[in-house]
Homo-oligomer: A and B are copies of this chain.
Amino acid sequence: MGYNLLKGKRGIIFGALNDMSIAWKVAEKAHEEGALITLSNTPVACRMGEVVELGKRLNAEIIPADATSVHDLENVFTKSMDVLGGKIDFVLHSIGMSLNVRKKRLYHDLDYNFLDKTLDISAISFHKMLQVAFKMDAVSEGGSVLALSYVAAQRTLYGYNDMADAKALLESIARSFGYIYGREKKVRVNTISQSPTVTTAGSGVKGIDGLIDFSDRMSPLGNASADDCANYCITLFSDLTKKVTMQNLFHDGGFSSVGMSQRAMSQYEKSFDCDCQD
């Protein structure tokens, strides 16, 4: 039913957990568009029934890896090239986790060991992935590497905590490595800054429901869904975007370019009508 946009391409998808995951949707769409893929996630996640099921359905080998381990990442690329029969054409990095968020440490009371982990898992893993691939020459010329980000990298959102800093670091790594990978191998490296999405990963962030509602009313097209995001990823993996690199691309229904919308303001103004109830 697709367009064959990725026909004959080989890809690795990191981070598919369940059918709420963006990575999950990307895996499905990539398959639909003709790509051969492998899936990678943490060893624990890879043993989950749903991921195993997805792998079967998409005929995709599942390769467990701790994304902070250079050794594990080398294994993912080696095995993927082996299984898929050649160099990799596209990679999705959809990985992020903050123990500070999980353990409810506020941003002005961070645990610095947790912060190190947040940065390592959510951002430095992207550098490791790129460096491993670069050293192994595992990505084919003109290939495309994507990571998922969020507007918190540019603007502080109450409760997003140290993940904001991780996303800023992630986007910087995309630029820094994108310069080198582009220069040496014509490989594109970009980030997509996605609407807040109800995923298992996102659900720990404080006040996420109010934020998703606000974000939706601010965005003229409403929040972008995981499905929408998967579609966008496909275009960026395709051969039609070969000169797009080192960019952070907002995929958010317009949110990032709105200061105040009529819909959000009209909701906001209701809050004053009922001050008596406070």
Among B154, B222, B238, B274, contact of A235 (Cβ-Cβ < 8 Å):
B238
Given contact pairs A252-B243, A274-B277, A155 touches B210 in the complex (Cβ within 8 A):
no
Determine whether the beta carbon of B165 is less than 8 Å from that of A176: yes
A224 CA to B241 CA in the complex, in Å? 10
Determine whether the beta carbon of A182 is less than 8 Å from that of B221: yes
Cβ contacts under 8 Å, A156 to chain B: 175-176, 178-179, 246, 257-259, 261
Determine whether the beta carbon of A232 is less than 8 Å from that of B221: no
Determine whether the beta carbon of A268 is less than 8 Å from that of B182: no
Total interface residues on A, CB under 8 Å, equals 102
Most buried by B among A5, A243, A251: A243
Given contact pairs A156-B176, A210-B269, A234-B240, A249 touches B249 in the complex (Cβ within 8 A):
yes
Given contact pairs A134-B108, A270-B278, A179 touches B254 in the complex (Cβ within 8 A):
yes
The answer, yes or no, to whether A171 is at the interface (CB within 8 Å) is: yes
Number of copies: 4
Given contact pairs A156-B259, A186-B221, A239-B231, A176 touches B253 in the complex (Cβ within 8 A):
no
For A80-123 the 0/1 string (1 means CB < 8 A from B) is 00000000000000000000000000011110100110010000
Determine whether the beta carbon of A173 is less than 8 Å from that of B180: no
The answer, yes or no, to whether A204 is at the interface (CB within 8 Å) is: no
Q: Which of A35-43, A55-63, A124-132 contacts B (4 or more CB under 8 A)?
A: A124-132
Distance to closest chain B CB from A196 (angstroms): 10
The answer, yes or no, to whether A21 is at the interface (CB within 8 Å) is: no
Interface of A is mostly: helix
Which chain A residues numbered 244 to 278 have a C-beta less than 8 Å away from chain B? Answer: 244-247, 249-254, 256-263, 265, 267-271, 273-275, 277-278
Which chain A residues numbered 1 to 32 have a C-beta less than 8 Å away from chain B? Answer: 3-5
Determine whether the beta carbon of B228 is less than 8 Å from that of A232: no
The answer, yes or no, to whether A78 is at the interface (CB within 8 Å) is: no
The answer, yes or no, to whether A45 is at the interface (CB within 8 Å) is: no
A231 CA to B240 CA in the complex, in Å? 5
Determine whether the beta carbon of B180 is less than 8 Å from that of A108: yes
Distance to closest chain B CB from A164 (angstroms): 5
Q: Please give the residue numbers on chain A whose beta carbons come within 8 Å of chain B beta carbons, in ascending order.
A: 3-5, 70, 107-110, 112, 115-116, 119, 124, 127-128, 130-131, 134-135, 151-160, 162, 164-165, 167-169, 171-173, 175-184, 186, 188, 195, 207, 210-211, 214, 219-222, 224-225, 228-229, 231-232, 234-235, 238-247, 249-254, 256-263, 265, 267-271, 273-275, 277-278
